[in-house]
Structure 1
Amino acid sequence: MRTYDCIVLGTGAAGNQAAYKFAEKGLRVAIIENFTPGGTCSQRGCDAKKILLTGSEAKDAVERLLGYGLKGLVSIDWRQLMERKNEYTRAIPEQTRNRYDDLGIDYYHGEPRFLSNKKLLVDEIELEAEQFLIATGLRPRELSVPGSERFLNSNEFLELRDVPRRLVCIGGGYISFEFAHLARIAGAEVTIVLRSTALKQFEQELVAVLLEATEALGIHIIHETEVVSYEDTTLALSNGTNVQADVVLNATGRVASIDSLDLNKAGVIFEDKGIRVNDYLQSSAPNIYAAGDVAVSGNPALTPFAGTEGRLAACNMLEGNTRTLELLPVPSIVFTAPNLAQVGQTEARLKESNVRYRGKLIDTSSWQTNVRIKDPFARAKVLIGEDDQILGAHFIGVHAAELANYFSFAMQHRIPSSALQKTSFAYPTPASDIASLLED
């Protein structure tokens, strides 16, 4: 039996931030990981994906500007791009372990499972602690159709040695659209299969523009269809048609990574989406907290929230429940070509809540900022409440992500739209368009 003050399950943003805080306070800390230390975002998610997107973003920019003073095509060397990604990700486990060693955090690798609310077993070693933080995140959802064992998940797609000749992406979320755009720009024939509404959490007027941009890129979209089976290279669909695919990406979502934890033995209440927590990120077992994507907290599954929740949970575990979770508006970005971005409420959600607001879809493709980079799909919608506060901001275009960041800053600090409209920015830049976006 090995005894600690606190044991953390998961080495992503939430788990690491909490473990660091415990160690800095002089506590005896252990951290457990069943994959490679460092978490999903840095190795199999945001960071790794964005490195691969560097190539597709550059190629897309060049191809848009052909005839605008540029000539000659750019091609993507997939293996070289993948190796560049690997150079970044392969260093992370060792860097993470070194940080644990420096802080005196004991690291265990294996599948932990609770024996009680104060004991667990990992790699046949029994560990005991007064407190636990569960930050095991999410894992790809599996499909159960004939041949689905050959489908790739997002982790496996990020390890592909060669770009597939014919790729089918199943699902209507971030991963499906981002990897579809990446592969298409790299030269693949790509099809997206949608069972229902695409990117349903986003402003649907802008999603419609993204679907238009997706098809203009040469990606075939099949709507309201499910996969029935996959045999050889034939993907059979519920609408009676077949699609030829050398690689099939299962991007139907992610589920809480809690199946093997034996949470019932610890008295922790959970559901399909993850572990139920209160405003202090405390589970139904008073000495066990949860943070990050695995916690059903009201926050979306985004890295900035995970790190914040990890620190907040650690504070409450150290000090007693003194700090509650504040649901700040943080942008969500779909890194397609062009980007789709939003922060705050959608128009549909405001209507459901009977909130009065103003705002409409604006075609900004003719504005100088977008004309100069030949961005024909640039659109914006800013929703403003009766109290002059910005309730939601939605963008599609090359500059969408950065515009969402500006509006997130204003919303988090409750800067009225009228004050933001009077703010001067460098011209001509995306920020200098903000005043025009806020006009009545």
Structure 2
Amino acid sequence: MRNIVIGSGPAGRLASLQLGKLGEDVTLIEKNHIAGTCLNEGCMVICALTDITKFIDANKRFNAHGFLKSQLEISYEKIVEKISETQEKLRHINQLENESVGNNIIYGEASINKDETVEVNGESLEYDNLLVATGARPFIPQIKGKEYGLTNKDILKIDDVPDKLNIIGGGIIAGEIANIYSTLGSEVNILARSSFLKEITPNAKKYVLKNIMSDINVYENVNVSEVFKNKVLLENDEELEGVPFFATGRVPNSEIVSDIVELNDDKTIKVNEMMKTSVDNIYAAGDVTGRYQLTPVARKEGIIAARNMAKYANKVSYNCVPQTLSLNMEVSFVENEKSTCSDEDKQTIAIPSIAGPGSFWNILSGDTGYCEIEFDSKNNKINKINSISPSSVSDVAYLSYLMRMEYDLDDYDEFLEIHPSSDTNYKIIKNMWL
């Protein structure tokens, strides 16, 4: 079977790798750099910069405690240089990984014909199965002067840390960008059209704004009417100085098949639970399908699509998807969207996080984190977790699996954590409920 995969981000790259491991004939086509937005413009860039800001935050804390006396001199230019060097190494590794299972990688811009062929670099390739994994790009609202606004695609292109930054948007990306540049020295405003960080609970948001992002000015329920190179104008005629940065969502790169397969109203590619489109031998996976725009979900979707392309029937499930907000202290959360728990059966318990890895010295300032868990008291299940701690990423990922497998609270008693971890989730579950 001839399989063509267009796009080498998390979905396309993992799909190609899975198909190759299954012994299938695979051609992977990539327009720019292998590994897609995640490595080259997105979450890996955010993680790299957040590693720096965590170090800066720890240095300030240790200086305040008095046992470390140091001043940091930050070179944004050097940071960008080293991020670029690391990206080159990872691209090389990702390419070798796909080639190691016999896959052919072509760099060029593809176009899809209705006669089951793909055009790339002047060559016509026939396929039996096609996977569209073309991702998404930043959404830029129709605001006057929008050409002056930066997006995540520009992070590695700017020369230095802006003195003042206006981030337009109120979601996860807006929060992460704000944390990075505020820690690096920018005066940051967040301009949210509705509420900021609606993805987490009000108490978790309160902790974030008080203890992690206290230097950032948050404007909620505001609209931007015009942006300039170094300022923005709100609809109430208030002017805010600073470089505009758009963190206003993503647009699917679905134009490549817009006249071939059925699209959703938001222009994402419509797929079923096997990642199949309205055309029998065309599949889609990753951000272009408009589901959770998360790297682990894109990987999962790519693998599911690949298995179905190779005639190994698989279905995707999205329940209890763990997510995180990468700040100087991670904010991780998960919710059981299939829960039928009534309001009267909901019970919420919240306590400060216990000092685990990376938070021992936070005890002195009283900001070790926060954990909030909502239970279904009738069915003995966990409905929702919001956890803020240095270990929340791994804690919530493991607990989300137990939620997804529909374990009872009694079963959690057999879960053995590794010390040191934040332990807070387990303290609540084992000692305050069971």
Question: What is the TM-score when the length of structure 2 is the normalising length?
Answer: 0.89
**Corresponding residue number in structure 1 for 2:327:** 336
**In the superposition, relative to structure 1, how do residues 117 and 311 fare at CA in structure 2: closer, same or farther (>3 Å)?**
farther
Q: Given the alignment of the two structures, is residue 362 of structure 1 paired with residue 350 of structure 2, yes or no?
A: yes
Distance 1:388 1:114 in 2: 51
Residue 79 of structure 1, CA deviation: 2.5
**Which residue number in structure 1 is paired with residue 224 of structure 2?**
227
CA distance in 2, matches of 1:420, 1:74: 45
Distance of aligned partners of 1:16 and 1:231 in 2 relative to their CA distance in 1, 3 Å threshold: closer
- 1:321-362 per-residue CA deviation (whole Å, 9 max, x = no partner) reads x2211224232000123322101248xx968x7466433252
Q: Note if contact 1:381-1:395 (Cα within 8 Å) is conserved in structure 2.
A: yes
The aligned amino acid for 1:263 is: S
Q: Is the 8 A contact 1:357 1:383 kept in 2?
A: no
Q: Deviations over 1:404-430 (max 9, x none)?
A: 234224323433323324645466641
Tell me which amino acid in the other structure corresponds to 1:277. V
Residue 249 of structure 1 corresponds to: 245
Superposed, 1:180-191 pairs within 5 Å as 180-191=178-189
**C-alpha separation in 2, matches of 1:223 and 1:432:** 31
Structure 2 letter corresponding to 1:310: G
Give the aligned partner of residue 280 of structure 1: 274
Aligned CA distance change for structure 1 residues 108 and 130 (closer, same or farther; 3 Å): same
Q: Secondary structure at the match of 1:236?
A: strand
Q: Report which stretch shifted further, 103-112 or 85-94.
A: 103-112
Report the count of equivalent residues. 426
Q: 1:95 to 1:422 in 2, by over 3 A?
A: closer
- Equivalent residue for 1:238? 235
CA distance in 2, matches of 1:382, 1:414: 16
Shift of residue 251, structure 1, vs aligned partner = 0.7
**Deviation at residue 49 of structure 1 after TM alignment:** 1.7
> Structure 1 CA distance, aligned partners of 2:297 and 2:403?
16
| 1:318 aligned residue (310, 313, 336) | 310
- Identify which of 53, 58, 70 aligns with 1:56: 53
Q: Distance in 1 between matches of 2:164 and 2:397?
A: 35
1:282-330, Cα deviation, whole Å (9 max, x unpaired): 111111011122224xx5221111112111111111116x221122423
**Residue matched to 1:8:** 5
For 1:58, the aligned partner's letter is F
Which residue pairs with 1:263 in the alignment?
258
| Amino acid in the other structure paired with 1:305 | V
TM-score normalised per structure 1: 0.87
Q: 1:238 to 1:72 in 2, by over 3 A?
A: farther
Structure 2 counterpart SS, 1:392: strand
- Provide structure 1 residue ranges, at least 5 long, that are not aligned to the other structure: none
Return the offset for 1:371. 6.8
Deviations, residues 242-295 of structure 1 (Å, cap 9, x unaligned): 0111x3211101121112x0431x233344251111121111111101112222
The alignment-based identity, stated in percent, is 24
2:193 to 171, 192, 195: 195
Distance 1:69 1:56 in 2: 20
Distance 2:23 2:352 in 1: 54
Select 2:404's aligned residue among 397, 403, 412: 412
Name which of 160, 171, 174 aligns with 1:173.
Answer: 171
